[in-house]
Amino acid sequence: MITVDAEKLKEVERRLGQYPKKAPLAIMRALNRTAANVKTNASKKVREEYAVKAKDVNSTFSIRRASKSSLSAMVESKAGALGLDKFKVSPMTPRHAKPPKALKVQVKKTGGAKRLVGAFVASVNGNKVFKRQPGAKGRKGKNGTWTALPIERLFGPPVPEMLENQSVRAYVEQEAAKTFETRLDHEIKRIMEGN
């Protein structure tokens, strides 16, 4: 959340000289531009740290915009854990004849891929990563192949957790502060010039 306190409001009123009543408008515009920038920067930084696609990160965000009467904007990410298939998995196609002994999975970009013994890819509304639960019983399917059930889908971290990563959070907060001040200067200048 990006909020402006009474002290900042007074400072903007002073800077606006003969237009002090336009302070909420300048702040509101700066906050809303900053919120959009926060979303962009958060998505970019998460993808620098994690092997995940932009659409899977961006779809979790919602922005509550500031208004002249409510000088705060909020960028929120809400989502459950992402399936491992949303990260870098190799091989990512189902292998019916002879599945690999271990899949290679990369969630974080540092440290490289890790071997996941016993995991496999199956097509269930798209390719997903699963693992058989201990004590799974084998049965013969319609096509003559043996499967062992039950299986469980494997997941990586949710986007909100990725955003809590120290380097991601520090970068986003630092960029938000810079963007807000830059945009506020721009909006004050715009009002002073009669726009």
Span of 35-39, 112-116, 155-159 with lowest mean pLDDT: 112-116
Residue 145 and residue 96 in contact, taking contact as beta carbons nearer than 8 Å: yes
Strands 72-77 and 2-3: antiparallel
Question: What are the domain boundaries of the chain?
Answer: 2-79+159-192, 82-157
- As a whole number of angstroms, the distance between CA 84 and CA 41 comes to 23
pLDDT at 169: 94
Candidate from 2-6, 99-103, 180-184 with smallest mean pLDDT = 99-103
* pLDDT grade for 52, boundaries at 50, 70 and 90: very high
Q: What is the mean pLDDT of the segment spanning 45-58?
A: 95
Is a pLDDT exceeding 90 seen at residue 15? Answer: yes
DSSP state of 151: E
Going by pLDDT thresholds of 50, 70 and 90, the confidence category of residue 143 is: low
User: pTM for this one?
Assistant: 0.80
* Residues 120-128, mean pLDDT to the nearest whole number: 86
Mean pLDDT, residues 91-103: 72
For residue 60, the model assigns a pLDDT of 96
Pairwise CA distance, residues 105 & 90, whole Å: 7
> What's the rounded Cα separation, in Å, for the pair 100 and 91?
8
Burial of 43 (0-12, 13-18, 19+ CB in 10 A): buried
According to the model, what pLDDT value does residue 107 have? 94
pLDDT band at 122; cut points 50, 70, 90: confident
Confidence of residue 145 (pLDDT cuts 50, 70, 90): low
- The predicted-structure confidence for 58-76, as pLDDT tens digits, reads as follows 999 999 999 999 999 999 9
pLDDT at 180 over 90: yes
Please check the confidence at residue 121 and state whether its pLDDT lies above 70. yes
Mean pLDDT (the chain, rounded): 88
The yes-or-no verdict on residue 165 having pLDDT over 90 is yes
pLDDT at 140 over 60: no
Q: In angstroms, how far is CA 100 from the centroid of its own chain?
A: 31
